[in-house]
Structure 1
Amino acid sequence: MEIVILVVVIAVIVLGAVSGLVISGRKKKALKTEESATPTSTTTAPTEPQLGEEAEGAPEAPRRTIEEVGLPEAEAEAPVIEEPAAPAEPEIETPEPSAGRLVRLRARLSRSQNSLGKGLLTLLSREHLDEDTWEEIEDTLLTADVGVAPTQDLVERLRERVRVLGTRTPQDLRALLREELLTLVGTDMDRTVHTETRGAVDRPGVALVVGVNGTGKTTTTGKLARVLVADGKSVVLAAADTFRAAAADQLETWGKRVGARTVRGPEGGDPASVAFDAVKQGTEAGADVVLIDTAGRLHTKTGLMDELGKVKRVVEKQGPVDEVLLVLDATTGQNGLVQARVFAEVVDITGIVLTKLDGTAKGGIVVAVQRELGVPVKLVGLGEGADDLAPFEPEAFVDALVGDE
């Protein structure tokens, strides 16, 4: 009997233990399920709001009428930035014919040279021409930069002819003075600007323009292009002054005004190379003339003068240079002769261009420079206008000196 009771007790204990284990396992499983379904606020980042969540718990705002709803302002249009217009090409001009220009500009020349002609006529009109009077005549000529030797020659001829003439009327004196001044200036010199090809027939004529800084050399080159175009020639310009930044632009502007091509190189480049290319391009284009503007050089700078000689030598590889024009400022007077001598030694000057002749009373420089170099004055500048460069005509020049009867 005791055994039976013992077995029942053991069975009850075993059953209770099994039931406890089952209940404990269910509680643990339920706890794990709950923990996995409920996120903790301290370790998990908030999730993105889902559809409908934003409206939950938010009171609905009163709706506005259509009149209360403002339309969105139109976006301001971005300002239109206009591209800068390219500078208009200058219209091609028809230059004034070169023939007779000096006659048309005679009034301008007369104003500047009036003191020379009138001074001489006044002195020669004196009743008694004593030594003091002749000295005054000499001083008048020297002041006008005629030069010592030409002045002495002129005074001697005047003294002889006045002595032979005897009674002198104003008309006689004017005719006498005109004749002697013409002899002094020279009427038998070739004043043509030679732009015709010499030697090789398959290239244009070549003119080299040289001179000291400040004489108006680049402007003169541009004006000379106008003279040639007016005479029916096609022109190519060579901007071989590569050391002055504005020189090439200035020359190109002159060229565009008359339809002339300008050949240029890099700033500070080799001038001889630019000159060579210009002659080559002029030949290919069938141009009549190539004008080469060189850098203005101080005649005291030996190296720069040597470079000028190089430009001429390089150009001559394609044929001879037909004209070498030295530009001189008439207002510099006798100082211009010093410059002329040095240039003549380097590049063999064939003609003179006198600029600013309307701005000086020293027209005698025409005589002096011709006597010094043995080459003629071929062109004169008589103003700032585009067509104020004129072929030099001795008769018109002397007429401007002595005035009208």
Structure 2
Amino acid sequence: MIGFFKNKKKSQQEEKGSTEVSVEQSTEAVTQEVVTQEAPLQQKLDKSNRNFGKKMRQLFSINKKIDEDLLEEIEDTLLMADVGATATLRIMDQLSQSVKRRELSDHAAVFEKLKQKLSELAATVEQPLQIDSTKQPFVILVIGVNGVGKTTTIAKLARRFKSEGRSVMLAAGDTFRAAAVEQLKTWGEREDIQVVAQATGADSASVIFDAMSSAKAKSIDVLIADTAGRLHTQSNLMQELEKIGRVMQKNDIEAPHETLIVVDGGTGQNAISQIREFNKATNISGIVITKLDGTAKGGVLFNLADEFKIPVRFIGVGEKSEDLKPYQADDFVDALLH
């Protein structure tokens, strides 16, 4: 089984294609919603469930012996779901040892053991975002590459906080893209949320500093600051992100109080690379994984959990505001494997 894994490991880690940079979706989907009954998480994760959960259940529904062949098939399914090489190896070693010790007597026991190990890994990054009311404003810096749904995520977060009774302000710090500034301004007008913005090409750090000063003067509860959709390979823009951090701390030595990186759940190894490189420029405190409803490889969350141990604050499973869900490990694993 281990030999099989080693042969698989390299090919599974190779990246298929580069990150595509695209214009983020309009906030129309966020601001013009039809009120419908909320779909359960397992329905939202249907693609991943069919690729991961269904395949896994099929393995255990076949009348096979519990042997090395079955373990290799489990291993292969984990890898194909983007669970990650290191995490998969650890889980498979634990399963293999349990089988050898005859602790798992039938397929149901093996399946439950697998689910337990996945749940344990998923739980290591379950830590909901807490807004510290003693910080006014509580500053959230949002980072990530273009195309991951970063600006739309900001809109959904702002609506969530406002619905909780908090006052919210937005800083249009993505001054490299006129569309990003206009997107936030339009959304802010519709939701009656103030947006601090300057002209395209303005200094991003200056925009965010001004927003912090304004939010402090107006006793705003939460300030959410957008940033340019940097590619993690663009060193000059990563240096700009470091500058933003330094300038923010001139206004509040503890700012930002939360740094959220938004990653696309369908990008696999690219998401790993993005977090690794962004973490060199700033101290990432939380992750938002978007577009999980559109990928068959929902196992990337386990990969991120194993690699970084950074809390996953929210998962995105659709276009509506309520589709940005606080991450709950048991619910996530149940939805994948039900």
* TM-score category (smaller protein): 0.7 to 0.9
| Corresponding position of 1:277 | 210
SS of the equivalent of 2:166 reads coil
Is 1:215 aligned to residue 153 of structure 2?
no
Kindly report which structure 2 residues correspond to 1:125-274, keeping only aligned pairs within 5 A, or say none: 125=61, 126-162=63-99, 164-168=102-106, 170=108, 172-185=109-122, 187-189=123-125, 191-196=127-132, 201=134, 203-274=136-207
Alpha carbons of 1:136 and 1:166: their partners in 2 closer, same or farther (altered >3 Å)? closer
CA shift for structure 1 position 369:
1.4
CA shift for structure 1 position 124:
3.6
| Corresponding position of 2:58 | 122
| Corresponding position of 1:387 | 322
1-structure distance, mates of 2:194, 2:42 = 32
Where structure 2 has 5 or more consecutive residues not aligned to the other structure, the ranges are: 1-30
2-structure distance, mates of 1:190, 1:249 = 34
1-structure distance, mates of 2:32, 2:266 = 30
One-letter amino acid of the structure 2 residue matched with residue 120 of structure 1: M
- Count of residues in Structure 1 that have an aligned counterpart in Structure 2: 302
* Conserved? CA contact 1:235–1:261, under 8 Å: yes
* Conserved? CA contact 1:344–1:373, under 8 Å: no
CA shift for structure 1 position 370:
2.1
* Conserved? CA contact 2:175–2:201, under 8 Å: yes
One-letter amino acid of the structure 1 residue matched with residue 48 of structure 2: S
Alpha carbons of 1:95 and 1:153: their partners in 2 closer, same or farther (altered >3 Å)? farther
2-structure distance, mates of 1:176, 1:280 = 52
| Corresponding position of 1:355 | 290
One-letter amino acid of the structure 2 residue matched with residue 232 of structure 1: G
SS of the equivalent of 1:387 reads helix
Alpha carbons of 1:356 and 1:93: their partners in 2 closer, same or farther (altered >3 Å)? closer
SS of the equivalent of 2:262 reads strand
SS of the equivalent of 2:105 reads coil
* Conserved? CA contact 1:326–1:352, under 8 Å: yes
| Corresponding position of 1:287 | 220
Is 1:108 aligned to residue 44 of structure 2?
yes
2-structure distance, mates of 1:398, 1:348 = 28
Alpha carbons of 1:230 and 1:295: their partners in 2 closer, same or farther (altered >3 Å)? same
CA shift for structure 1 position 222:
0.8
Deviates more, 1:122-131 or 1:365-374: 122-131
1-structure distance, mates of 2:145, 2:164 = 28
SS of the equivalent of 1:207 reads strand
The RMSD of aligned alpha carbons is: 2.3
Instruction: Report the TM-score, using the length of structure 1 for normalisation.
Output: 0.70
Greater relative contact order: 1 or 2 (C-alpha under 8 angstroms, separation 6 or more)? 2
Is 1:302 aligned to residue 235 of structure 2?
yes
Deviates more, 1:173-182 or 1:159-168: 159-168
1-structure distance, mates of 2:273, 2:176 = 24
| Deviating 4+ runs (over 4 angstroms) | 92-96
* Conserved? CA contact 2:261–2:284, under 8 Å: yes
| Corresponding position of 1:398 | 333
2-structure distance, mates of 1:383, 1:183 = 26
Alpha carbons of 1:106 and 1:166: their partners in 2 closer, same or farther (altered >3 Å)? closer
Instruction: Report the TM-score, using the length of structure 2 for normalisation.
Output: 0.83
2-structure distance, mates of 1:389, 1:179 = 25
Where structure 1 has 5 or more consecutive residues not aligned to the other structure, the ranges are: 1-91
| Corresponding position of 2:5 | none
SS of the equivalent of 1:383 reads coil
Identity rate, percent:
43
Is 1:323 aligned to residue 261 of structure 2?
no
CA shift for structure 1 position 221:
0.8
| Deviation digits for residues 341-363 of structure 1 (CA, Å, limit 9, x no counterpart) | 00011011111111111111111
* Conserved? CA contact 1:327–1:353, under 8 Å: yes
Alpha carbons of 1:196 and 1:122: their partners in 2 closer, same or farther (altered >3 Å)? same
Alpha carbons of 1:166 and 1:144: their partners in 2 closer, same or farther (altered >3 Å)? closer
1-structure distance, mates of 2:47, 2:232 = 32
CA shift for structure 1 position 131:
2.0
One-letter amino acid of the structure 1 residue matched with residue 52 of structure 2: L
CA shift for structure 1 position 190:
5.1
One-letter amino acid of the structure 2 residue matched with residue 326 of structure 1: I
